[in-house]
Chain A
């Protein structure tokens, strides 16, 4: 069995810093709010994708994390035709839900916002990644109290077993009030044999 790629590719963004494959590549002051921090990352990675600014915070976080990870990954591996995506979190789209709720709370000032409403589903974050890269594989968004590496690994394995040479983008992207955390990694044929859920859980922390 050939092991082309032994490195576990992952990206973690939390506390205003970006960790890519064990290297801290961005570290900003913890007092900076996400709106500012995300703009910084947008420019740092030269995203050049104006649609970014229309997204809610959850989708912005998901897109940026995936950009760091995939840009790096595709430097070393040929970009496949299809990538499946499995993401998860605890809060669903709650931050955006509350913002939308504000637009309908007051009966005398009732102006439901369509641009907020379309982001009141967590799987939209997956949709945004798919749209940017034209990924037409399988998608699913799970909700759990903590990152469930076992479930996601098994689900990813199931996808990979059914289609050889397939790649699955897996992870966690959560917004709890102003606290955010994103952790994404690449699952592929080679990876299944190289990494354990224990290791993934350690990296997630």
Chain B
């Protein structure tokens, strides 16, 4: 899980263009949206693409997505349980 968290953090920085941040700046339990990383609706859509492209997971339900994207912790647990790649 530790490796996955590191991997996901660096993917987020890369794919969401958070060029001003380093992996160490992202804490496992920080909120991803609104406060914390301050991601927005476009970032959420980009995360959905990332889940599909890199882990083979199709997340279509917006209510489920909200819970999954709460933090790095919730995101990685979800990937761990559902990944096809």
- Please list the residues of chain A having a beta carbon within 8 angstroms of any beta carbon in chain B: 39, 50, 53-55, 109, 111-115, 118
Q: Is the CB of A53 within 8 A of B52?
A: no
Stretch at the interface among B4-12, B17-25, B71-79: B17-25
A55 — which chain B residues lie within 8 A by C-beta? 17
The residue that A54 contacts in the complex, of B16, B45, B52, with Cβ under 8 A, is: B16
**Chain B interface residue count, Cβ-Cβ cutoff 8 angstroms:** 14
Q: How far is the CB of A41 from chain B (nearest CB, A)?
A: 14
CA distance A50 to B13 in the complex (A): 12
Considering only CB atoms, which chain B residue lies closest to A103 in the complex? B49
Interface of chain B: mostly helix, strand, loop or mixed: helix
Q: Is the CB of A114 within 8 A of B19?
A: no
Q: How far is the CB of B54 from chain A (nearest CB, A)?
A: 9
Q: Is the CB of B42 within 8 A of A114?
A: yes
The residue that B17 contacts in the complex, of A39, A53, A111, with Cβ under 8 A, is: A53
Asked whether A118 and B42 contact (CB < 8 A) given A39-B19, A53-B17, A53-B20, the answer is yes
Q: Is the CB of A115 within 8 A of B19?
A: no
Question: Apart from A50-B38, A54-B43, A118-B42, what 19 extra A-B contacts exist at CB < 8 Å?
Answer: A50-B18, A50-B20, A53-B17, A53-B18, A53-B20, A54-B16, A54-B42, A55-B17, A109-B53, A111-B52, A111-B53, A113-B49, A114-B45, A114-B49, A115-B16, A115-B17, A115-B42, A115-B45, A115-B46
The residue that A115 contacts in the complex, of B20, B43, B52, with Cβ under 8 A, is: B43
B52 — which chain A residues lie within 8 A by C-beta? 111
Q: How far is the CB of B52 from chain A (nearest CB, A)?
A: 7
